[in-house]
Homo-oligomer: A and B are copies of this chain.
Amino acid sequence: MSTESPILRIDLESAVPVYEQLSNGIRSELVAGRLRPGQQLPTVRELALNLGVHHNTVAEAYRLLAREGWLDLRRGRGALVIARQQPEPTEQARNEFARRLRELAAKAIAQGVPKPEVSGEMRALSSELDRGGQQ
Contacts and interface: CB of A to CB of B under 8 A. Distances in A.
A117 B94 contact: yes
Interface in A89-135: 89-90, 93-94, 96-123, 125-127, 129-130, 134-135
B123 A126 contact: yes
B7 A15 contact: no
Give this chain's copy count.
Answer: 2
Nearest to A99: B7
A129 B119 contact: yes
Contact of A68 (B20, B110, B134): B110
A73 interface: no
A63 interface: no
Top 4 A-B pairs ranked by shortest CB distance? A89-B112, A97-B108, A31-B106, A93-B111
24 contacts: A16-B16, A24-B103, A27-B103, A30-B110, A31-B110, A86-B112, A89-B111, A89-B113, A89-B114, A90-B111, A93-B113, A94-B117, A97-B107, A98-B121, A101-B122, A105-B129, A109-B134, A115-B129, A115-B130, A115-B134, A115-B135, A116-B130, A122-B122, A126-B126
